[in-house]
Amino acid sequence: MRTQVGIVGAGPAGLMLSHLLHRHGIDSVVLESRSRDHVEHRVRAGVLEQGSVDLLCRTGLGERLLREGLRHEGIELRFAGESHRVPMTELTGRAITVYGQQEVVKDLIAARLAAGGTILFEADVVRLDGLDSSSPVVRYRRDGREEELRCDFVAGCDGFHGVSRGAVPEGVLTSYERAYPFAWLGVLAAAAPAVQELVYAHHDRGFALYSMRSPEISRLYLQVAPDEDLAAWPDARIWAELRARLETVPGWSLTEGPVLEKSLTPMRSFVVEPMQWERLFLAGDAVHIVPPTGAKGMNLALADVALLGDAFAAWYGHGRTDLLAGYSTTALRRVWRAQHFSWWMTSMLHRLAHDDPYEAKLQTATLRYAATSRAYATSLAENYVGCPRSDHLGPAPAEAQPPTWPPRDTPCRPGAGGSDATTTQRRSTYS
């Protein structure tokens, strides 16, 4: 099989890239190791930044999102028996939308298949070859047979545990990492949300987060030990712990209901640089992980491939190499902004392992500052709703690029396309 861009992984990054390339008339094939049913029902992220919503709407994927997504204009910080609203839209003019990652994935799969796109499920990529040639080969196993996909470029969108990152020769990549001494126990419950906006709660017993998926379904998280045994958390214990950490505000109580799903999420910060080697472009969790406290992972994955889509369009459409050559540098600016924000939110809100009383006081001081200073809250809000590039990420760097890269023997095909080408409230605390 041959295509222009071979994409490893059908998560938000891989599927969105395939969708964007299709809109530019560029052919791609997505290889995914799991089944369609599995990727469409994997419960993960739930918060879309304004920029992600705009991207989905701009590219024809907004219909169900705008109908079923829940637009939120603020979040609540709960600590020391107090509740404070951060009025994100009032402070930034932008909002977030609560819409499950698996819904984004379902919409993307439906759009790709309706357009005649190729997604091979249960195709396990085992090796990438020839990445430093003009015709890389993606080798994968499907139905017990080893197959190959030849392409001009490979997009490694296969998440943290994928194979793409490992295909880069030793010594090329530098990794930056931080592990946190806690994890999140996540619960999906058939219970009407008792809140209208997300609640981030700092408590002596540990962090808790109240989120939701729909007017009938709540999504809740508890800070637990990294090696916690899920079996030790029957539903009654989960609700009791949620009550202890969240029912700290007079007159407020949790709505309980059957627990539909439970999972444990380790907390990690991780970045690999650069995000590209020769003909391999890495995107999403394959190159960077954030702890979920800032709700950034899926948004970063989408932001990476938005850049990559434009860069491939410039290459195939106009023979321009600058956007592909500058992809890593440009993407890493947003990645590091989100790394800092996610680390900051995580450090401010969790019970820290060593129970250092000085640090605990600093956490309360930081939360109180976010609750009372318009300037500090604006910083939180603009990171949470997502920075447009012109805000703090700076203009795209005009990188000098190696004149020989990408190798010029690959024909540049203006307007090239495969068979599926298209033409393409509450009052705020601040006064």
Give catalytic residues, as residue numbers.
Answer: 72, 200, 292, 296, 384
Which residues contact ligand PHB by CB under 6 A?
45-47, 198, 209, 211, 219, 292-293, 295
**Minimum CB–partner distance for residue 157 and ligand RFL (Å):** 5
107 binds ligand RFL (CB under 6 A): no
Near ligand RFL by CB under 6 A, which window of 56-64, 153-161, 197-205, 339-347?
Answer: 153-161
Binding residues for ligand RFL restricted to 340-359, rule: CB under 6 A: none
**Minimum CB–partner distance for residue 79 and ligand PHB (Å):** 16
CA atoms within 13 A on the CB side of 202: 26
219 binds, among ligand PHB, ligand RFL, none (CB under 5 to 8 A by kind): ligand PHB
53 binds ligand RFL (CB under 6 A): no
Round to whole Å and give the CA distance between 57 and 70.
Answer: 15
Q: Which of 51, 136, 284, 326 binds ligand RFL (CB under 6 A)?
A: 284
Distances from the Cα of 305 to the Cαs of 11, 55, 62, 140, 155, in angstroms? 12, 11, 18, 23, 9
Which residues, at least 6 apart from 286, have a Cβ–Cβ distance to it below 8 Å?
A: 9, 13, 156, 157, 158, 159, 160, 162, 164, 165
Strand pairing report for 47-48 and 145-150? unpaired
Q: Which is nearer to ligand RFL, 265 or 366 (CB)?
A: 265
Q: Which is nearer to ligand PHB, 31 or 381 (CB)?
A: 381
**Minimum CB–partner distance for residue 423 and ligand RFL (Å):** 27
108 binds, among ligand PHB, ligand RFL, none (CB under 5 to 8 A by kind): none
51 binds, among ligand RFL, ligand PHB, none (CB under 5 to 8 A by kind): none
Round to whole Å and give the CA distance between 212 and 218.
Answer: 4
Binding residues for ligand RFL restricted to 20-39, rule: CB under 6 A: 31-34, 39
183 binds ligand RFL (CB under 6 A): no
**Minimum CB–partner distance for residue 18 and ligand RFL (Å):** 11
